[in-house]
A and B are shown apart, each in its own frame.
Chain A
Amino acid sequence: MNHSAVASKAASTNSMLQVSGLNVYYGESHILRNVDLSVPEGEMVCLIGRNGVGKTTLLKAVVGLLPSQSGTIAFAGKPVTDISPDARARLGIGYVPQGREIIPRVTVKENLLLGLEASQGSGKGKQSIPEEIFTLFPVLKSMLSRMGGDLSGGQQQQLAIARALMGRPQLLVLDEPTEGIQPSIVMEIEAAIRRIIETTGVSVLLVEQHLHFVRQADQYYAMQKGGIVASGSTSELSQEVIQRFLAV
């Protein structure tokens, strides 16, 4: 684990998220092996790899849903390895999970208001949904009183992203936001994410399979068998790397 400590020191300048030497187990099985990853401030980092290599596990460890056996996770310079997911959310990690995880028997409006729980120092004042949420996702405006569980998959995905934005996160963790969604909505979601990054300067950690979405990221990390096997700038993303790590 010595080399990871050195690596983390080198990359710790201005990084929003810094994962060093992370090992995660599901019971007995070793899933993540000495993972090092860093998301620089204001940049978009994409995690690629075939199914079952541990991408979602890594994201879950970052948001705090899975405990890590060893290694550290630092967010905005602070170690967060041992704190609970709700405390991490309040520090500024917004999570859009695979499968959306919309609260089903709660209205769309209430789902959005739940996103406010993460925003620091939210006072007693009247809770309202900022207009920019509806500029990003116009569909949601007409659905406010519907139950979250009754929306279609694409609408739920937009709601999940909007909900994460409500907490004004500094780091947005997106797990396959375009999975199983019709192409026209995929375009909408991609455009919305691009706009979010431009307007708010949020850092993004993304797991994605769509190649042209991957190309919008600044950096990529490729995973295989629970470890990072390649990384670099997406502009240098070669055809060979794509062939090996993207399930296209």
Chain B
Amino acid sequence: MLLLQSVFNGISVSSVLLIAALGLAIIFGLMGVINLAHGEFIMLGAYATFAVQSGFKAVLGESGLSLYIIFALPVAFIVTALVGLALERSVIRFLYGRPLDTLLATWGFSLILRQFVRSVDWSLFIGIAVFCLLFFGGLAILRRRLDGQQTRKGANTILLLLSLGIAIVTRVLLGQTDATALTKPWFSARNVDVTAPNWLQGGVPIGSFQFPFARLFIIALTIVCVVATYWFLQRSRWGLRIRAVTQNRSMSACLGIPTRKVDALTFALGSGLAGIAGCAITLLGSVGPNIGQNYIVDTFMVVVVGGVGNLVGTIVAALAIGTLTYLIGSGMFALLLTPVEALNPLADFFTFFATTSMAKVMVFALIIAFLQFRPSGIFPPKGRTAES
């Protein structure tokens, strides 16, 4: 019974890991972009959920709380997908094929995002909105009015400086007013709590244990996400385009596939999935600006162990790593081994690793050992083309 409970908990931990790794499997596995900001996309999804919940609370009162999660899921997806899209359009598309630069750029972006959620308030938001309006509006006008390459470049620089200046002045002026509504941070640096809707509190009693609804919900959500992603990639027209571009970019372009659009869409999709993961983890605990860091290493491990570019591998690896970490961390192995006299030293060994952090140490050591034997993961690419 205890074992069943442990396995269930392990699977629910794995499903969070899987849902977080799914987006990365697309961005890192398919596109080959090392996105260190992926954890921050998860965090952003969690904060989007919190924002939706607060919105529902403010408008509908306590009764709104039961429904917010239905709306929070698409909102989290769309918000993170848009942020991902902006990142791809503004930075990453210039860095394809330059992994080290991508690594640094995305890491920098992750720091920006972390500080952004700490300090965002209405005045900052308005400042950014003013900048976007002036700069991109100006760009659109310039594109229509000016033809010469040289003059346009100069005009762009002036436009950038001007709109940046106006935006900063706006922000400073707003910050000096006494209106606390404008300068009060939205989330602040402290952790925020998202209360699960009441129909997700409690659980299914089995024997003396309970399977919490929240965890069952996460497992169901994971299954839906995996099936939807798989269907999208394997059956839809855009999915075929994505697979073609990720396998042979220049030939795909020669076939008439708009590769830049495909890149942007793929990145947005991966980011959006991270947003859904963020929505899911709000059900498990409180949300802070650094929450992404808890997940980023694990998710990269999942993708690498599963075999880069392989969705099935990602699923298996997430289940294996998640369940194993939980079983070791909760001392389950030690507990099972203690009754047998002869295995007591082994039981002591497992007891030593029976904390959350030590369990990770052991699992990562196992992963390193595993990768010595199967460097390309559980499911390496097969066939004629695998070697090239």
Residues of A within 8 A of B (CB): 63-65, 84-86, 89-90, 95, 97, 101, 103-106, 110, 113-115, 117-119, 127, 147, 149-150, 163, 167
| Contact between chains at B256 and A86 (CB < 8 Å) | yes
- Which residue, of A65, A86, A167, has the highest number of chain B Cβ atoms within 10 A? A86
Closest to A153 in B: B384
User: What's the Cα separation between A117 and B251 when bound, in Å?
Assistant: 12
Q: Indicate which residue in B255, B257, B384 contacts A149 across the interface (CB closer than 8 Å).
A: B384
Contacts of B253 in A (CB 8 A): 64-65, 84-86, 89
* Given known A-B contacts A113-B240, A114-B257, A118-B255, A147 and B383 have beta carbons under 8 A apart: yes
> Which stretch, B50-58, B185-193, B242-250, B319-327, touches the partner chain A?
B242-250
Q: Indicate which residue in A64, A103, A113, A150 contacts B251 across the interface (CB closer than 8 Å).
A: A103
User: What's the Cα separation between A84 and B244 when bound, in Å?
Assistant: 17
Contact code string B238-271 (vs A, CB < 8 Å = 1, else 0) = 0011011001101111111111000000000000
Residues of B within 8 A of A (CB): 237, 240-241, 243-244, 247-248, 250-259, 381, 383-385
User: What's the Cα separation between A113 and B257 when bound, in Å?
Assistant: 12
- Could you give 14 example pairs across A and B, Cβ below 8 Å? A63-B254, A65-B250, A89-B254, A101-B254, A105-B247, A106-B243, A106-B244, A106-B247, A110-B240, A110-B243, A113-B240, A117-B257, A118-B255, A150-B385
User: What's the Cα separation between A119 and B247 when bound, in Å?
Assistant: 22
Contacts of B252 in A (CB 8 A): 86, 103, 114
| Contact between chains at A86 and B251 (CB < 8 Å) | no
> What is the CB-to-nearest-CB distance from B92 to chain A, in angstroms, rounded to a whole number?
19
Contacts of B257 in A (CB 8 A): 86, 114, 117
* Given known A-B contacts A104-B247, A105-B247, A163 and B383 have beta carbons under 8 A apart: no
By Cβ-Cβ distance, the 4 closest A-B pairs, closest first, are A118-B256, A89-B256, A149-B385, A104-B385
Closest to A100 in B: B251
Q: Indicate which residue in B243, B254, B255, B381 contacts A65 across the interface (CB closer than 8 Å).
A: B254
| Contact between chains at B259 and A86 (CB < 8 Å) | yes
Closest to A151 in B: B384
Closest to A127 in B: B237
Contacts of A115 in B (CB 8 A): 255
User: What's the Cα separation between A104 and B388 when bound, in Å?
Assistant: 11
Interface contacts beyond A63-B254, A97-B254: sample of 14 additional A-B pairs, CB < 8 Å, sorted by A: A85-B250, A86-B254, A86-B258, A95-B254, A103-B244, A104-B248, A104-B385, A110-B244, A114-B255, A118-B256, A147-B383, A149-B385, A150-B383, A167-B256
| Contact between chains at A101 and B251 (CB < 8 Å) | yes
| Contact between chains at B251 and A106 (CB < 8 Å) | no
Number of A-B residue pairs having CB atoms within 8 Å of each other in the complex: 79
User: What's the Cα separation between A179 and B245 when bound, in Å?
Assistant: 25
| Contact between chains at A163 and B247 (CB < 8 Å) | no
User: What's the Cα separation between A119 and B253 when bound, in Å?
Assistant: 13
> What is the CB-to-nearest-CB distance from B385 to chain A, in angstroms, rounded to a whole number?
4
User: What's the Cα separation between A149 and B244 when bound, in Å?
Assistant: 12
Contacts of A167 in B (CB 8 A): 255-256
Contacts of A101 in B (CB 8 A): 248, 250-251, 254
User: What's the Cα separation between A106 and B243 when bound, in Å?
Assistant: 8
| Contact between chains at A89 and B247 (CB < 8 Å) | no
Contacts of B384 in A (CB 8 A): 104, 149-150
| Contact between chains at B255 and A117 (CB < 8 Å) | yes
Q: Indicate which residue in A85, A86, A114, A149 contacts B240 across the interface (CB closer than 8 Å).
A: A114
Q: Indicate which residue in A147, A150, A163 contacts B255 across the interface (CB closer than 8 Å).
A: A163
User: What's the Cα separation between A115 and B259 when bound, in Å?
Assistant: 14
* Given known A-B contacts A106-B244, A114-B257, A163-B255, A149 and B383 have beta carbons under 8 A apart: yes
Contacts of B251 in A (CB 8 A): 97, 101, 103
| Contact between chains at B254 and A114 (CB < 8 Å) | no
> What is the CB-to-nearest-CB distance from B289 to chain A, in angstroms, rounded to a whole number?
39
* Given known A-B contacts A65-B250, A97-B251, A114-B240, A105 and B258 have beta carbons under 8 A apart: no
Closest to A160 in B: B251
| Contact between chains at A106 and B250 (CB < 8 Å) | no
> What is the CB-to-nearest-CB distance from A73 to chain B, in angstroms, rounded to a whole number?
15
Closest to B388 in A: A104
Q: Indicate which residue in B243, B250, B255 contacts A105 across the interface (CB closer than 8 Å).
A: B243
Contacts of B381 in A (CB 8 A): 105
Contacts of B248 in A (CB 8 A): 101, 103-104
Closest to B253 in A: A85
Contacts of B237 in A (CB 8 A): 127
| Contact between chains at A105 and B385 (CB < 8 Å) | yes
Contacts of A150 in B (CB 8 A): 383-385
Contacts of B258 in A (CB 8 A): 86
User: What's the Cα separation between A70 and B259 when bound, in Å?
Assistant: 25
> What is the CB-to-nearest-CB distance from B245 to chain A, in angstroms, rounded to a whole number?
9
> What is the CB-to-nearest-CB distance from A4 to chain B, in angstroms, rounded to a whole number?
24
Contacts of A65 in B (CB 8 A): 250, 253-254
Contacts of A84 in B (CB 8 A): 253
Contacts of B244 in A (CB 8 A): 103, 106, 110, 114
Contacts of A64 in B (CB 8 A): 253-254
Contacts of A105 in B (CB 8 A): 243, 247, 381, 385
